[in-house]
Amino acid sequence: MSPLVLSLVIACASALIGMPPAIALGWVLARRTFRGKTLLSALVLAPLVLPPVVTGLLLLRLLGRRGAFGPVLEGIGVSVPFTTLGAVIAALVVGLPLYVIAARTAFEGVDPRLEEVASTLGASPLRVLTRITLPLAWPGLLAGAVLAFARALGEFGATAVLAGDVPGETRTIALAVYAALEAPRGEPDALRLSLLSVGLSVLALVFHELLLARHVRRAGRRA
């Protein structure tokens, strides 16, 4: 696949796979108080402050053939390093914190009194979540997915360490730009790919802002 198509596939896959854990973690952090909540939040957000290369190295130590889970993965026929799966995992890990932050903010924007009223009327917790909380929070949740997608498009460091630079399999736009700069007379290709990357990222961020604005307007009307 071309770097453009591969980047879109990886970004979409990481955003979709990250949706369930991001929504679950966002809801837990927004609605629950428990011992260890601060530690959980710190662990979830750690990839935001860690250098992406360090994140990639930690993932390699966990998922590589000689890593902690390497033998188990190899036993079921799954290979992570230098594969498209590895690129998806790297993009997922670096984008998940942004997704969780957006989900937490979206849930915190839902008036808990609405949930309490539904509970007093006999609605089960699952029904309250699916009929009240999620419908009211969905613009913010979708905005988080778009933000994670945009972050995955620009991922470089963790992908380079865990998935490498394999043309057609792990060479995303970011890696293709770096490869073009390393090649003789490759600067025009690097510039062309860079402009394409900027255009995709801006479009994703514009969509994110539109969704976020809609969420804010809906929260203002409910208030």
CATH architecture for segment(s) 3-222 = Orthogonal Bundle (1.10)
* CA pseudo-torsion sign 22, 26, 32, 38: positive
**b/e map of 149-175 (b: 16 or more CB within 10 Å)?**
bbbbbbbbbbbbbbbbbeeebbbbbbb
The CB density around residue 33, as the number of other CB atoms within 10 Å, is 6
Digit-by-digit pLDDT tens for the chain (223 residues) are 688 899 999 999 999 999 999 999 999 999 888 898 999 999 999 999 999 999 999 999 999 888 889 889 888 988 999 999 999 999 999 999 999 999 999 998 888 888 888 888 888 888 888 888 998 888 889 888 998 999 998 899 999 999 999 988 999 999 999 999 888 888 888 899 889 888 988 888 888 788 777 766 765 665 5
For the chain, what are the domain ranges?
3-222
DSSP 82: T
